[in-house]
């Protein structure tokens, strides 16, 4: 308990799934948590209600991370309400299209790239403006929730694969840029986690069993198993860890491109 006591953390896309688990665990460990959502206001309000039981400060904001103006507005409101931020978790994202490149429209390509890659760029840039304003680089954290598809590619998923591999290299570049100020930047790459983004598999017993048969652990992951890694990366225990990807997938990615 109190691993993050007194720290302010912003977790994008935290009204459900992995983001919700991270937000709740951070709050349990003493952090004030900013929740963001795109369309799930009721879900976000429920998360805020759950977080409040830990006696920390929290608030939910609606934002489209793919829209630069929305992100700027979000950070301005957070600055007014919370002041400095210590931790940014870039979690908000959308799934791939299942469409081959030859049939993929620019609109479908852009929708995924803008949310999954532009979103972390917009949020990270605004967050770094906070650091410049408050002069609090050392000990601050950026954590990107990517996917094993940052290095395991599957056909029909080019927009998602590209966005996640882009996040990896984006994070590594920031890690180098911020290293002299001891501000860390890392990625978490989940495999099949039992969240709404995988509902097509979860809700179909045959598909779920087929997935379990492939995963060496023979099960999907729990969102809290990802959140625990995020807690480590947000804490002082990871003070010398930067420019890394932590894979949370029950050994799935070891199987290679056919995973």
- Distance of alpha carbon 138 from its chain centroid, rounded? 21
d(CA 152, CA 212): 18
Which residues sit opposite 145 in a β-bridge? 188
- Largest Cα–Cα distance in the chain? 53
The β-bridge relationship of strands 184-190 and 244-248 is: parallel
Six-digit token string for 57: 């400060």
d(CA 116, CA 204): 26
Options 61, 160, 172, 246, the catalytic residue = 160
Query: To which residue do tokens 């501000």 refer?
Result: 183
φ, ψ for residue 228 (rounded to 5)? Answer: -65, -35
Residue 160 is among the residues annotated as catalytic for this protein: yes
DSSP-assigned states of every residue in 48-86: HHHHHTTT--EEEEE--TT-HHHHHHHHHHHHHHH-S-S
d(CA 15, CA 214): 29
- Distance of alpha carbon 31 from its chain centroid, rounded? 17
Which residues touch 227 (CB under 8 Å, ≥6 apart)?
18, 21, 22, 24, 25
Is the Cβ–Cβ distance between 72 and 125 less than 8 Å? no
With the CA atoms of 92, 21, 16 and 242 taken in that order, what torsion angle do they form, in degrees rounded to the nearest 10? 10
Catalytic residues: 160
């Amino acid at each position: 308990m109190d691993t993050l006591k007194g720290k302010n953390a912003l977790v994008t896309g935290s009204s459900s799934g992995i983001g919700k688990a991270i937000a709740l665990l951070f709050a349990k460990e003493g952090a004030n948590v900013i929740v963001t959502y795109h369309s799930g206001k009721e879900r976000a309000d429920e998360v805020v209600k759950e977080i409040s039981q830990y006696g920390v400060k929290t608030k939910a904001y609606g934002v489209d991370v793919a829209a630069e103006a929305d992100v700027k507005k979000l950070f301005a409101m957070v600055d007014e309400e919370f002041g400095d931020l210590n931790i940014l978790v870039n979690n908000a994202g959308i799934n791939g299209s299942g469409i081959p490149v030859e049939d993929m429209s620019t609109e479908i390509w852009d929708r995924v790239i803008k949310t999954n890659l532009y979103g972390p760029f917009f949020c990270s840039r605004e967050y770094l403006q906070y650091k410049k304003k408050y002069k609090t680089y050392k000990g601050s954290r950026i954590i990107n929730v990517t996917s094993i598809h940052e290095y395991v590619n599957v056909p029909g998923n080019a927009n998602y694969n590209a966005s996640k591999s882009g996040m990896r290299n984006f994070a590594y570049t920031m890690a180098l840029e911020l290293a002299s100020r001891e501000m860390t930047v890392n990625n978490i790459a989940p495999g099949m986690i039992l969240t709404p983004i995988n509902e097509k598999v979860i809700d179909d017993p045959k598909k779920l069993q087929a997935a379990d048969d492939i995963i060496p652990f023979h099960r999907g992951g729990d969102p809290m198993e990802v959140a625990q890694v995020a807690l480590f990366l947000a804490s002082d225990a990871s003070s010398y860890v930067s420019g890394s990807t932590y894979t949370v997938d029950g050994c799935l990615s070891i199987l290679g491109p056919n995973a």
